Amino acid sequence: MQELSSHVAKAINTAISSSWAIFVAATVALFLFFYGDSIGLDRQRVDLHFLVDAATFLMVFVIEHTQSREMAALHTKLDAIIRALDADTSTVGIEELSQKEIQDIRDRRRERTPGARARG
């Protein structure tokens, strides 16, 4: 069950952080702004409140998209550094694993490294 929820959360995150999600959110916001009164929304409430809410709503998608892009770039850079240093490459791509698999790897590494539990 936990693996399924992790998979669903990852799929939702991928969808929300895409460029298309920003476009869809903006389209929905514009539609509601221009046609909200025809579907029963109070026009006076729509104007100011809606613009503030829509800006906040859209910024969530923009921030998520930016963070996702930056994390992908960071992972790529870290993987390149690990390979360039000829270090243990077993953790390259670890971000694609489930949370349980990542925790298992962390636990195994702590067991192999003396004093690792004391440091965190």
Residues 42-97: tens digit of each pLDDT: 776 667 677 778 788 888 888 888 888 888 889 888 888 988 888 888 888 888 87
Give domain limits for the chain.
Answer: 2-87
Q: How far is CA 60 from the centre of its chain?
A: 11
Please indicate, yes or no, whether the overall pTM of this predicted structure exceeds 0.85. Answer: no
For 11-15, 32-36, 67-71, 75-79, which range has the lowest pLDDT when averaged over its residues? Answer: 32-36
The number of C-alpha atoms within 13 Å of 102 and in the hemisphere containing its C-beta is 10
Quick one: tokens of 105? 């790897």
The length of the chain is: 120
